[in-house]
Structure 1
Amino acid sequence: MTLPTPLDMFDIRGKVALITGASGAFGAVAARVLAGAGARLVLAAGDASALAAIARECREAGAGVHEANARPDSEAACDALVAQAVSGFGALDILVVASGMNKVAKIDEMTPDTFLSVMDANVTQSWLMARAATRQMKAQGRGGKIVLVSSARGLLGHPAGYTAYCASKSAVDGITKALGCELGPTGITVNAIAPTVFRSPLTQWMFDDTDNAKAVREGFLARVPKGRLGEPEDLAGPLLFLSSKASDFYTGHILYADGGYTAG
């Protein structure tokens, strides 16, 4: 048996990728990685100026880019994003759902509307985007790659008012596993990347040299075998793997990018 050339297994040059939440912490990493790997991109985000900035960066890396100032917050919006990929580049090969949110509050202080808003952003919108992409990928008849974004909090609880977030990421894990089973015969793989804390504008304070940051960081790192917090590049390899034919036999998996946090 002859194995494929190793680098060819990770080759996504010319593939069409749609990334939601493209201006956010994970979405921007995804955009940079897939652009650098030669994919053609449809970048979607609700923040127009931040979207323009990441789109410009991807174009400077040589990628073809279409911008969509939109969130996947309805069936029509999700269908329109897939349609934009098809009209702009003729197909859809890779979907990365990096949009989402967290709202932190103790359960006795959280309103039902707040809980439902987190579930909608993280669960319903992931399901709607996966649904829209699945229809297109099935019609193309050549498989495809769907990558959702979960979290270590989909597996583990958190004491600081994370009931909505933990529940939502557990649901994303369930969608990933169920769709992995459902779509296996079609050649469409469905997997999720589940980071723990990694460097982003929202978490930069944890990396700072203040007494509070040190205390929080040291308490967290006591649970991380690798002994450090995550960096954006720690998400790059897993994403490229799940977006390429190297992962053709992998579906329904939750890939923890966590330095061993969930292993202990």
Structure 2
Amino acid sequence: MSLSNPLSMFDVKGKAALITGASGAFGMVAARTLAGAGCKLVLAAGNLAPLSEIAGECRASGAEVHEVNARPNSEKAADALVAETVKAFGAIDILVVASGMNKVAKIDEMDLTAFQSVMDANVTQSWLLSRAATRQMKVQGMGGKIVLVSSARGLLGHPAGYTAYCASKAAVDGITKALGCELGPTGITVNAIAPTVFRSPLTAWMYEETEQATAVRNGFLARVPKGRLGEPEDLAGPLLFLASRASDFYTGHILYADGGYTAG
């Protein structure tokens, strides 16, 4: 590979990408990033209205987009999403699993159903989609890129009722590392992006100049060397890196997009 044009290593133009959870905060970042980079997209989500909105936005930017109103919540559903990608674009080159959820409760107040729902959404769906994509990528014989979504909470605990979420993201880290080892010889890379707090509809209140938001934000920022909360664009660069051949020698990695939060 020549280094005379290093930006070519980040070229994903024409690649077929499946993004699940495309109507969520990270899913929308992934959709906008890969659409802007020239990928052909299959966008999947269970929430139809925001799915249609992000699909329309990506089409307006010039991307080819196929939208599927579905969640990968079973073997059949996960396999169908990969098959839909192949049907639409002839292959699947990139998988981004941005689907997931959190339910916050102290352990003595959380029931098993709630705990299991978080594990199913974050862990089982990541595993099912990785399996489905791996099978197809092996058939194609051209390698591929699998990007999972973890969190700083996969490494660090949290005092406010995050037992389910922390456990689920630690499990995603384990899947990432195990598959990185397992699939190394195939040319399929498996990595995870692990954000801390970044701006989204769910966290917008933390960015407001209210007394409560300021207190919470200042407490959090005391642990962030960069001295600010995250923005969506802070996730775009890492995603493009992991989705492109620039990361061909990187697999089984958890890439923390956290302003240094986990460093200290």
* TM-score when normalising by structure 2: 0.99
Correspondence for 1:3:
3
Structure 1 residues 222 and 64: alpha-carbon distance in aligned structure 2, compared to 1, 3 A threshold? same
Correspondence for 2:145:
145
Shift of 1:94: 0.1
2:128 counterpart of 1:128: yes
- Report the Cα distance in structure 2 between the residues aligned to 1:130 and 1:81, rounded to whole angstroms: 11
SS in 2 for 1:212: helix
Correspondence for 1:72:
72
- Report the Cα distance in structure 2 between the residues aligned to 1:6 and 1:104, rounded to whole angstroms: 44
2:92 counterpart of 1:92: yes
- Report the Cα distance in structure 1 between the residues aligned to 2:238 and 2:6, rounded to whole angstroms: 16
Structure 1 residues 65 and 2: alpha-carbon distance in aligned structure 2, compared to 1, 3 A threshold? closer
Correspondence for 2:30:
30
C-alpha deviations, 1:58-90, integer Å up to 9, x for none?
Answer: 000100000000000000001110011101100
- Report the Cα distance in structure 1 between the residues aligned to 2:174 and 2:28, rounded to whole angstroms: 25
Correspondence for 2:210:
210
Correspondence for 1:235:
235
CA-atom RMSD in angstroms: 0.7
SS in 1 for 2:256: strand
SS in 1 for 2:108: coil
SS in 2 for 1:108: helix
- Report the Cα distance in structure 1 between the residues aligned to 2:187 and 2:161, rounded to whole angstroms: 39
SS in 2 for 1:103: coil
- Report the Cα distance in structure 2 between the residues aligned to 1:121 and 1:2, rounded to whole angstroms: 41
C-alpha deviations, 1:26-84, integer Å up to 9, x for none?
Answer: 00000000000000000000001110000000000100000000000000001110011
Structure 1 residues 62 and 169: alpha-carbon distance in aligned structure 2, compared to 1, 3 A threshold? same
Shift of 1:5: 1.6
- Report the Cα distance in structure 2 between the residues aligned to 1:83 and 1:116, rounded to whole angstroms: 27
- Report the Cα distance in structure 2 between the residues aligned to 1:50 and 1:127, rounded to whole angstroms: 25
Runs ≥4 residues deviating over 2 A: 1-4
Percent of matched pairs sharing the same residue:
81
Amino acid in the other structure paired with 1:151: S
C-alpha deviations, 1:11-35, integer Å up to 9, x for none?
Answer: 0000000000000000000000000
Shift of 1:186: 0.2
SS in 2 for 1:197: coil
Amino acid in the other structure paired with 1:192: A
Shift of 1:4: 5.6
SS in 1 for 2:107: coil
Amino acid in the other structure paired with 2:36: G
- Report the Cα distance in structure 2 between the residues aligned to 1:87 and 1:201, rounded to whole angstroms: 33
Correspondence for 1:157:
157
Shift of 1:3: 2.5
- Report the Cα distance in structure 1 between the residues aligned to 2:230 and 2:16, rounded to whole angstroms: 28
Amino acid in the other structure paired with 2:15: K
* TM-score when normalising by structure 1: 0.99
Amino acid in the other structure paired with 1:109: E
- Report the Cα distance in structure 1 between the residues aligned to 2:49 and 2:84, rounded to whole angstroms: 20
Amino acid in the other structure paired with 2:111: T
- Report the Cα distance in structure 1 between the residues aligned to 2:4 and 2:262, rounded to whole angstroms: 33
Structure 1 residues 193 and 176: alpha-carbon distance in aligned structure 2, compared to 1, 3 A threshold? same
- Report the Cα distance in structure 2 between the residues aligned to 1:2 and 1:89, rounded to whole angstroms: 29
SS in 2 for 1:100: coil
Amino acid in the other structure paired with 1:162: Y
2:227 counterpart of 1:259: no
2:197 counterpart of 1:201: no
Unaligned runs of 5+ in 1: none
- Report the Cα distance in structure 2 between the residues aligned to 1:229 and 1:117, rounded to whole angstroms: 28
- Report the Cα distance in structure 1 between the residues aligned to 2:75 and 2:193, rounded to whole angstroms: 24
2:144 counterpart of 1:168: no
Shift of 1:224: 0.1
- Report the Cα distance in structure 1 between the residues aligned to 2:218 and 2:2, rounded to whole angstroms: 48
